Amino acid sequence: MVSSLFLRDQLKYVQTQVVEQDFPERLMASGAILPVSSEIPIGARTYSYKLLTYVGEAKILANGGDDIPMVDLNAEERVGYVRTIADGYSYTLDDLESAQYARTNLDASMAIAARDVIEAKLDFIGYDGDTANNLLGFLNHPNVPTATVLNDGTASGTTWASKTPDKIYRDLVNFASATKVATNMVEIPENIGLPVAQFEQISSTPMQTGSDTTILEMFLRTQRASRAGVQNVMPLPYLAGKGTGGTDLMISWRKRADKIKYHVPRDFDQQPTQQFNLAFKVICRASTGGVECRKPLSMRMAYGI
């Protein structure tokens, strides 16, 4: 029979292995793409924020003048919802007895898999949201400007597969500039996300025949030369086929919590072990409030690449 001390030590060992496990491939859930916020109190089911846009400008005031210009602020209140994500894992009494007899630790793979499944769900919701549960994601947030790239590829195509390196480079420059022009340099994109295929294309295609400089290297070199330029281009999952008509899209944003953030009020945790017949079951959970974007003009999407 499994001793209570062995059971307690083994479950503590398994849970430690789960907590220590890292999932760097989950770019959204790990905070590599957007700031991850835990500011919503645990137990809250909703939260609210204001979508802010403002117009107006300051002026030089003449001596004694009272014609001071007023800034007009438009604040549109939005409500977000918090949802719980859960799964679990279990070990049978036979598993525990075998581990005790062999004087070995339990295999933590099942428990790590339970956490990986939750991290994968958090990752997916961070990109796509969940319409059925009123969760907004990175790719379906309202009021984000969108555009289609120029159709001057082969057979009037827009895709980068149909374009020369010069035209792809131009598309990237135009895309990065669009946000700066539209906001008069108030919003400056720092990151561009591409589907994996397009990222691989620009990172391996030279700007000119015989050149060692790729499209990506040339773009980042010119952008980084200015403080008001894109600093990072990265491959992102889920961008392929997400544009109008199933086209591929690229997205730009600024990774700042006052612009956009991903709410994860409760990070992964595990509930106390429960005995169920001849098995010991552990319920795991996390919670998310989806993506909050207070400054939609700091983002931009372009379809058709």
Q: How many domains does the chain have?
A: 2
Taking the C-alpha atoms of residue 234 and residue 251, their distance in angstroms, rounded to an integer, is 10
170 and 241 fall within a common domain: yes
Q: What is the chain's Cα-based Rg?
A: 25
201 and 236 fall within a common domain: yes
Residue type, 21: Q
103 and 250 fall within a common domain: no
- Is 65 within the bounds of a domain? no
126 and 251 fall within a common domain: no
CB of 305 closer than 8 Å to CB of 250: yes
Give the domain range for residue 124.
Answer: 4-53+76-139+260-295
135 and 28 fall within a common domain: yes
The count of other CB atoms within 10 Å of the CB of residue 74 is: 10
264 and 249 fall within a common domain: no
* Burial bucket for residue 223 (CB in 10 Å: 0-12, 13-18, 19+): buried
Tens digit of pLDDT at every position of the chain (305 positions): 667 788 888 888 898 899 888 888 899 999 999 999 999 999 999 999 887 665 555 556 666 667 776 656 667 888 999 999 999 999 888 888 888 888 888 889 989 999 999 999 999 999 999 999 999 999 998 889 999 899 999 999 999 999 999 999 999 999 999 999 988 888 999 999 999 999 999 999 999 988 999 999 999 999 999 878 999 999 998 999 999 899 999 999 999 999 999 999 999 999 988 988 888 899 999 999 999 999 898 999 999 99
Q: Classify each residue of 28-59 as buried b or exposed e, where b means 16 or more C-beta atoms within 10 Å of its C-beta.
A: bbbbebbebeeebeeeeeebebebeeeeeeee
What pLDDT sits at residue 2? Answer: 66
131 and 33 fall within a common domain: yes
Taking the C-alpha atoms of residue 301 and residue 236, their distance in angstroms, rounded to an integer, is 13
- Is 189 within the bounds of a domain? yes
- Is 166 within the bounds of a domain? yes
Taking the C-alpha atoms of residue 51 and residue 32, their distance in angstroms, rounded to an integer, is 24
- Is 280 within the bounds of a domain? yes
- Is 60 within the bounds of a domain? no
Q: What is the crossing angle of helices 165-182 and 215-224, to 10°?
A: 30
Taking the C-alpha atoms of residue 257 and residue 292, their distance in angstroms, rounded to an integer, is 9
What pLDDT sits at residue 290? Answer: 97
Taking the C-alpha atoms of residue 259 and residue 229, their distance in angstroms, rounded to an integer, is 17
- Is 170 within the bounds of a domain? yes
220 and 266 fall within a common domain: no
19 and 82 fall within a common domain: yes
Decide: helix, strand or coil at residue 128.
Answer: helix
Secondary structure of 155-191 in the HEC alphabet? HHCCCHHHCCHHHHHHHHHHHHHHHHHHCCCCCCCCE
- CATH number where 156 lies: 3.30.2320
- Is 98 within the bounds of a domain? yes
Residue type, 69: P
126 and 30 fall within a common domain: yes
- Is 270 within the bounds of a domain? yes
What pLDDT sits at residue 256? Answer: 96
239 and 109 fall within a common domain: no
Taking the C-alpha atoms of residue 251 and residue 195, their distance in angstroms, rounded to an integer, is 10
What pLDDT sits at residue 46? Answer: 97
80 and 186 fall within a common domain: no
- CATH number where 22 lies: 3.30.2400.30
> Which structure tokens are listed for 216?
């990506």
